[in-house]
């Protein structure tokens, strides 16, 4: 062999070894927004952060809570005090100790205005998840105590979501606002590099307390266009894609790619302005629900990536009621109800539709299909389309203030607890600026929601929420449409890939590899 060639090969050896590191390339729907878990509200970022951070507890495949950073915990008899014991010798990825002080800081920086980390917010979900907390204190280096203002059965679920991630206090305070660009956690991966709008690369955390990740690196590539994701998978540019275009799924399957899909705690609906006619009339709302063919939409528009919905809770959630009115497609009955309501010739209305949006599936196509169905019963729907940011501003201000008629919307609950769907969306305490944008109010439902939060027994709690679901199904404050399924397509070379059976919308890849 020519000595110069041999020298070149030897010189290149370290580079070849680096390339030999195992890695997974994932195409996801949009770039991450922040690497501070307490600031995040979007699902795309949660995919990334679930690999960088740990919470005290995690949700198990059967819906029970399992140890994470906390090895054990106990609740006082009155339901007001939760005490957590941390695993021994925990470390953040940079080597700093993860102890009770870090846990206290991670929550107090979100809740306590006097905490030095509070000024580096905002922390949008802090009150939503942890508003029931009255105090958090360090008992000793490995023990943390939470005191609640009142019993809250959703509290453990709130600790399992990304907002409850434990961050490195030293890094968070030293970096301030720029902490969002690098983060600092204890998860199986740590940030290596982030080109904003481009690749976000995570590398294996050598100090991780759990099992070593199966892949040395996770490379996240934002792909905004649905069709782009399928093309990237077929070309070998990526190994895994999240939510490729529904119409591409059959082609991907026939091409030898695996499609994993699972319904999760998601609801897609048409909001209705209950403060004005005709939507203040329950008969009208029931008519609209009978007028829409949900199965045709989930099959024809969503290509089987959704399941019909007639209540806010999805089938895997505690409190889901399988015995409510299914509102089967029945345009004749819908017309009869409109006539009873005083609208024999229907009416004209406006439907607000976003061009895109997290969890919004195919908003334009779905809006057009619903427009056609309602037209069959004499309801003329004018579609008003706008970008996601403008849409959220109008809907967020409240239907009454923005003078809206109908609008598309969705909600996804990472905690999989009924309280985190029903309380924000349907409680009369959540009128705008809360998320109850249509201003639905039923005092009996409000009472049941309060009882559901306070009840500790899961079986009794389920019965309470099922009663609430029956009432909401009868009132139909929305036009219910579907529960979305998480859809992930991946190469046959990928091993160990599985969607979480309870909460499939956050991808978990530490056990996935491409040998």
H helical segments located in 427-457: 443-454
Q: Is the pLDDT of residue 62 over 90?
A: no
CA–CA dist 240, 397 (Å, integer): 37
CA distance 449 to 420: 10
Q: What is the pLDDT of residues 76-100, one digit of tens each?
A: 999 999 999 999 999 999 999 999 9
| pLDDT band at residue 230 under the 50/70/90 scheme | very high
Averaged over 107-133, what is the pLDDT? Answer: 94
Which of 26-30, 89-93, 474-478 shows the lowest per-residue confidence on average (mean pLDDT)? Answer: 26-30
pLDDT of residue 213: 96
Quick: pLDDT tens for 264-291: 899 999 999 999 999 999 999 999 999 9
Sign of CA dihedral 469, 471, 472, 476: positive
Q: In what order do the strands lie in the sheet with 70-75?
A: 70-75, 81-86, 143-148, 133-140
pLDDT, position 7: 33
What is the DSSP track for 229-297? HHHHHHHTS-SEEES--GGGHHHHHHTT-EEEEEE-SEEEEEEE-TTSTTTT-HHHHHHHHHH--HHHI
* pLDDT at residue number 422: 96
CA angle, 395 then 416 then 460, to 5°: 115
Model pLDDT, residue 415: 83
Q: What is the pLDDT of residue 433?
A: 87
Phi, psi of 61 (to 5 degrees): -65, -15
What value does the mean pLDDT of the chain take?
A: 92
Cα within 13 Å of Cα(417), Cβ side: 29
Model confidence pLDDT, tens digit, residues 378-418? 999 999 999 888 998 899 899 999 999 999 999 988 888 99
What's the DSSP call for residue 64?
Answer: -
CB count within 10 Å of CB 174 equals: 11
CB within 8 Å of 447: residues ≥ 6 apart: none
pLDDT over 50 at 10, yes or no: no
- Cα–Cα distance measured from residue 427 to residue 437, given in angstroms and rounded to the nearest whole number: 10
- pLDDT > 90 in the chain, percent: 83
Q: Which residue has the higher pLDDT, 12 or 346?
A: 346
The burial of 402, by beta-carbon neighbours within 10 Å (0-12 exposed, 13-18 middle, 19 or more buried), is given as middle
């Amino acid at each position: 062999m020519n000595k110069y060639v041999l020298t070149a090969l030897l010189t290149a050896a370290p580079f070849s070894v680096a390339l030999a590191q195992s890695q997974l390339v994932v195409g996801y729907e949009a770039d991450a927004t922040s690497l501070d878990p307490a600031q995040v509200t979007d699902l795309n970022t949660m995919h990334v952060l679930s690999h960088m951070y740990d919470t005290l507890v995690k949700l198990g495949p059967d819906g029970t809570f399992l140890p994470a950073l906390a090895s054990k915990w106990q609740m006082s008899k009155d339901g007001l005090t939760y005490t957590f014991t941390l695993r021994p010798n925990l470390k953040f990825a940079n080597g700093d100790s993860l102890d009770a002080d870090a846990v206290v800081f991670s929550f107090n920086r979100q809740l306590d205005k006097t905490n030095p980390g509070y000024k580096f917010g905002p922390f949008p979900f802090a009150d939503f998840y942890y508003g029931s907390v009255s105090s958090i204190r360090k008992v000793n280096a490995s023990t943390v105590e939470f005191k609640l203002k009142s019993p809250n059965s959703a509290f453990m679920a709130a600790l399992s979501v990304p907002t409850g991630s434990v961050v490195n206090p030293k890094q968070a305070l030293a970096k301030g606002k720029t902490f969002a660009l690098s983060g600092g956690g204890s998860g199986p991966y740590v940030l290596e590099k982030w080109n904003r709008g481009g690749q976000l690369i995570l590398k294996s955390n050598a100090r991780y307390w759990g099992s070593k990740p199966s892949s040395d690196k996770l490379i996240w590539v934002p792909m905004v266009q649905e069709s782009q994701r399928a093309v990237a998978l077929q070309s070998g540019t990526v190994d895994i894609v999240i939510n490729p275009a529904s119409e591409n799924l059959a082609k991907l399957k026939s091409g030898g790619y695996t499609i994993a899909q699972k319904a999760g705690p998601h609801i897609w609906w048409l909001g209705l302005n209950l403060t004005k006619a005709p939507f203040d009339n329950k008969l009208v709302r029931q008519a609209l629900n009978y007028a829409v063919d949900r199965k045709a939409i989930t099959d024809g528009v969503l290509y089987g990536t959704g399941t019909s919905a007639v209540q806010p809770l999805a089938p895997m959630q505690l409190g889901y009621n399988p015995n409510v009115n299914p509102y089967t497609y029945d345009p004749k009955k819908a017309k009869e109800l409109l006539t009873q309501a005083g609208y024999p010739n229907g009416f004209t209305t406006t439907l607000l539709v976003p061009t895109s949006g997290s969890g919004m599936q195919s908003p334009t196509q779905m809006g057009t299909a619903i427009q056609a169905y309602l037209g069959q019963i004499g309801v003329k729907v004018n579609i008003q389309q706008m970008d996601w940011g403008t849409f959220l501003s109008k809907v967020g201000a409240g239907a009454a203030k923005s003078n809206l008629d109908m609008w598309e919307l969705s909600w996804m609950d990472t905690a999989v607890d009924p309280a985190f769907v029903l309380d924000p969306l349907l409680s009369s305490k959540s009128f705008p600026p809360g998320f109850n944008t249509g201003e639905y109010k039923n005092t009996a439902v409000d009472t049941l929601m309060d009882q559901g939060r306070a009840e500790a027994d899961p079986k009794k709690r389920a019965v309470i929420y099922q009663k609430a679901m029956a009432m909401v199904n009868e009132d139909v404050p929305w036009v219910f449409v579907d529960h979305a399924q998480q859809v992930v397509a991946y190469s046959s070379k990928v091993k160990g890939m599985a969607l979480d059976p309870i909460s499939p919308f956050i991808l978990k890849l530490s056990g996935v590899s491409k040998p």
